[in-house]
Structure 1
Amino acid sequence: MADDHSSSMAGRNVDPAHSTNVLDIYPLNHYYFASKEALPFKEETLTQRIERLKLNYNTHGLRTCVQAVLLVELSKHPHLLLLQVRNSMLKLPGGRVRPGESEIECLRRKLSSNLSAREDDSWEVGECLGMWWRPNFETVIYPFMPPDIKWPKECTKVFLVRLPESRKFIVPKNLKLLAVPLCEVHDNFKTYGPIIAGVPQLLSKFSYNTPDTD
């Protein structure tokens, strides 16, 4: 029996195949979870990170990042899949677009790196839900371009990724994949940051359907 909830997002470049406002989400117990070799992480201070961002900007210009919204159903409520790094920071799966790489190619590559046993191009990447801008090299980001900024340093785009009825998630040992209720992340900037906390609003034009798979 379908479980419907009101839910929207501002779409851009919508593929007709993904134009429906109904999202099929499947129970968390339909998915299999295992681990693989840990991913290397940069150990750096905030000052070192800012210097790295400046160097990348001087070399490649605007830095573009892509992130994925993946949903599952648990206790009759949509849950958002988040990666936990070092048992503290939470983030949406994704990463930086390489020079010459498309945004969709990048997102599939990062999803495979973080959530699959091998390279996998079967991820169903849908529409862009929203964009955030980093005007300077500090950590402040905005869901719009500030009018006094001509040369932003970073753009982060969030895409809807529709999950199939079942899938194997193979996660690096130094990451955890958590299912967090949408009602918990909504407007919770302190815990989740502006992008994650804004996801429920981005999804607010959708209704959620849990297909009867028995």
Structure 2
Amino acid sequence: MSTITQSALQSSYPPLLPKEFNGNQPKTIRLFPLSNYTFGTKDGQPEEDPSVMARLKRLEEHYNEYGMRRTCEGILVCHEHNHPHVLMLQIANAFFKLPGDYLQPEDEEIDGFKNRLNERLAPVGSQFTGEGVNDEWQIADCLAQWWRPNFETFMYPFIPPHVTRPKECKKLYFIQLPKSKVLSVPKNMKLLAVPLFELYDNTQRYGPQLSAIPHLLSRYNFEYIDEKGEIVAVTPGGGPMSGNVPQTKVLAGGDEEMNGDGITS
């Protein structure tokens, strides 16, 4: 932390507050601390396709039978040291992805999305009991739509003008995490808490979709809640801040330490 920043935090002089600057702002989002959540593991969920080519082949078969594939993924946010962290999965120490998946052809959008979230993150059997186990997913705003114009790996945040029949639409939804919740990750995956500054402008590691998440969340103001349920910081401005630097944490699954770089699939 720079000397200037330290001096600003330690100053006894209150900041100069500008006029109100929240016109047409979405509602302020409450973020709860990472320590409020319980993480575990469950049986592994192998990838359906052994290769990228196999995945694209299955996409083509799906399109020919059912039309455009619908995919929903969730942006789950909590905080650590008063900085937003996004929960995401890492597969084989290589590929990063958000919780969620493609919908079955007969699924309604939101109900089908909740089913896919449960497949990935809900605890099974009597693994856990108590508060937060059976809480319903709170699906909030759709923050982005990514389009796959052809049977290729590339997706775009727009439909190219020459494309009239995209092959897949992937929606990213903001998911409001409750005060506490129990999450279980398949054993062959890791559940990570990645700080926003790690994602920002980091397409080499996370790819264009995940590295765009800080942009998508910038529309919100946040209130940071501590374990006692009290507001300890708000954005913009003010509130306590420790000297700890937020970093990616492995919450459950896989090895204890992160190894190697990865990209999204």
TM-score scaled by length of structure 1: 0.86
What SS does the aligned partner of 1:194 have?
helix
What SS does the aligned partner of 1:195 have?
helix
**How far apart, in 2, do the equivalents of 1:204 and 1:168 lie?**
27
For 2:84, the equivalent position in structure 1 comes to 78
Amino acid at match of 1:174: N
Root mean square deviation, CA, Å: 1.7
Identity of aligned residues (%): 39
**How far apart, in 1, do the equivalents of 2:168 and 2:94 lie?**
24
Shift of 1:118: 4.2
Unaligned runs of 5+ in 1: 1-18
Q: Relative contact order: is structure 1 or structure 2 higher (C-alpha 8 Å, sep ≥ 6)?
A: 1
**How far apart, in 1, do the equivalents of 2:51 and 2:39 lie?**
32
For 1:49, the equivalent position in structure 2 comes to 55
| Residue 38 of structure 2 corresponds to residue 32 of structure 1 | yes
For 1:178, the equivalent position in structure 2 comes to 192
Amino acid at match of 1:46: V
For 2:151, the equivalent position in structure 1 comes to 137
Is the CA contact 1:108–1:121 (under 8 Å) kept in the aligned structure 2?
Answer: no
For 1:193, the equivalent position in structure 2 comes to 207
Is the CA contact 1:21–1:205 (under 8 Å) kept in the aligned structure 2?
Answer: no
**How far apart, in 2, do the equivalents of 1:169 and 1:198 lie?**
25
Shift of 1:67: 0.4
**How far apart, in 2, do the equivalents of 1:118 and 1:47 lie?**
32
**How far apart, in 1, do the equivalents of 2:219 and 2:26 lie?**
10
Shift of 1:23: 1.1
Is the CA contact 2:42–2:123 (under 8 Å) kept in the aligned structure 1?
Answer: yes
May I ask how many residue pairs the two structures share in their alignment? 196
Is the CA contact 2:33–2:227 (under 8 Å) kept in the aligned structure 1?
Answer: no
Is the CA contact 1:94–1:111 (under 8 Å) kept in the aligned structure 2?
Answer: yes
**How far apart, in 2, do the equivalents of 1:45 and 1:34 lie?**
28
Displaced runs of 4+ in structure 1, greater than 3 A? 118-121
Greater Rg by CA: 2
| Residue 173 of structure 2 corresponds to residue 149 of structure 1 | no
Amino acid at match of 1:193: G
Is the CA contact 1:134–1:153 (under 8 Å) kept in the aligned structure 2?
Answer: yes
| Residue 104 of structure 2 corresponds to residue 98 of structure 1 | yes
